Amino acid sequence: MQRAVLLAVGAGMLSVLPMAMALNLPGGVFLTFFAPLPLFLTGLGLGSLPAFIAGATAVVIWTLFTGLASAASILLMMAAPTWILTRQALLSREAPDETTEWYPGGHLVLWLTGIGVVCVLAFAVFLASLAETEHGLAGHIGAMMADALMLMLPDLERETAEIAAAGFAANALALVSVSWMLLLALNGALAQRILVRAGKNLRPTPDIAYLEFPNWVPLGPVVALLAGMVLGGDAAYVARNIGIVLCLPLFFLGLATVHFFCRRFAARGAVLAALYFAVVILPWIAAALTILGLVDLLAGLRRRFSAGSSGQENE
């Protein structure tokens, strides 16, 4: 146990290193994309208690160096989510046939989505406390983005900067939240892969091709988007952004469907690599996958074309 605690403390220290480097290195912000990796490695390889210790270490260190306000963002966006997700991932029970049933991958995505909703609400509360514009949260975010664009591109006309910033500001809370949730998922999957290769994983890897969600999942974004149409002001803005975040399970379901059908092709690795690259650079691909996920949920595409395989976990 002492060894596990020491490793967890070391992982917590290592997780804040990319963020510290990002403050001093040009382009160092990209290093922060992998800041959660040590925490996931700790949780999925050593257990939920070491994951908690690692996250707490990261928060304490960041508090000492940057202050309480900045550390709160580390707690909300990295330490707490990694601990919650690893704790849930390690839950299991004994099935009637005496095999071990692990916490389903679809349920983990639902937890990830819930964390994304909390982040949107937290961002909204924080920005509302800073807002000094009569145009509400969207106007405040747009003004900040326009100022940032003018700083990066001094020759850019202010009107052009404001138009570009307004387009981003309309869904800014959702875009930031969803992007970070996807990075958390990427880091969790990468950590699990590393641990499997090393033979240190505590649970088998969920098979994305067999990801499942309850039929009520589409109701979340529908209700939120309808609330955005009925409500006014900042409440409508926040509701619309939450509606986008609640589409995350459908996006993962679309990926699951593609993974399922790609198993029929010898070059599936290249196809999937191209798909993931396209998702990063072409936003409409993500929208198409979300629609595909909805179709699969309602029409049961994978069930119709399944060859009878019932595998749920990969070692």
The 3-class secondary structure across 69-126, one letter per residue, is HHHHHHHHHHHHHHHHHHHHHCCEEECCCCCEEECCHHHHHHHHHHHHHHHHHHHHHH
Structure tokens at 20: 């510290």
- Is pLDDT larger for residue 69 or for residue 45? 45
Residue 311's pLDDT band (cuts 50, 70, 90): very low
What average pLDDT does range 79-100 have in this prediction? 90
What does the pLDDT look like over 222-242, one tens digit per residue?
999 898 888 878 888 899 999
Mean pLDDT check: name the lowest of 84-88, 125-129, 146-150, 191-195. 146-150
- The Cα 78–Cα 81 span in angstroms is 5
User: Can you say whether residue 158 is alpha, beta or left, with left for phi > 0 and alpha for psi between -120 and 50 degrees?
Assistant: alpha
Is the model's pLDDT at 133 over the cut of 60?
no
- The Cα 137–Cα 201 span in angstroms is 43
Question: How confident is the model at residue 2, as a pLDDT?
Answer: 79
Residue 22's pLDDT band (cuts 50, 70, 90): low
Question: How confident is the model at residue 278, as a pLDDT?
Answer: 86
Residue 315's pLDDT band (cuts 50, 70, 90): very low
For residue 277, CA distances in Å to 153, 188, 253 come to 27, 19, 18
Question: How confident is the model at residue 244, as a pLDDT?
Answer: 92
Question: How confident is the model at residue 140, as a pLDDT?
Answer: 73
Question: How confident is the model at residue 305, as a pLDDT?
Answer: 79
CA atoms within 13 A on the CB side of 256: 28
Contact 249, 213 (CB under 8 A): yes
Contact 88, 107 (CB under 8 A): yes
Residue 310's pLDDT band (cuts 50, 70, 90): very low
Q: Provide Rg for the chain, Cα atoms.
A: 21
Residue 201's pLDDT band (cuts 50, 70, 90): very high
Q: Which long-range contacts (CB under 8 A, 24 or more apart) does 158-167 make?
A: 165/141, 166/138, 166/142
What does the pLDDT look like over 96-126, one tens digit per residue?
877 888 999 999 999 999 999 999 998 888 8
- Is pLDDT larger for residue 55 or for residue 17? 55
Please provide residue 69's backbone torsions phi and psi, each rounded to the nearest 5 degrees: -65, -45
What average pLDDT does range 239-256 have in this prediction? 94
Residue 253's pLDDT band (cuts 50, 70, 90): very high
Share of the chain above pLDDT 70, in %: 90
What average pLDDT does range 250-256 have in this prediction? 94
Please provide residue 155's backbone torsions phi and psi, each rounded to the nearest 5 degrees: -85, -5
Sort 57 into a burial class: Cβ within 10 Å, 0-12 / 13-18 / 19+. buried
Mean pLDDT check: name the lowest of 50-59, 172-181, 224-233. 224-233
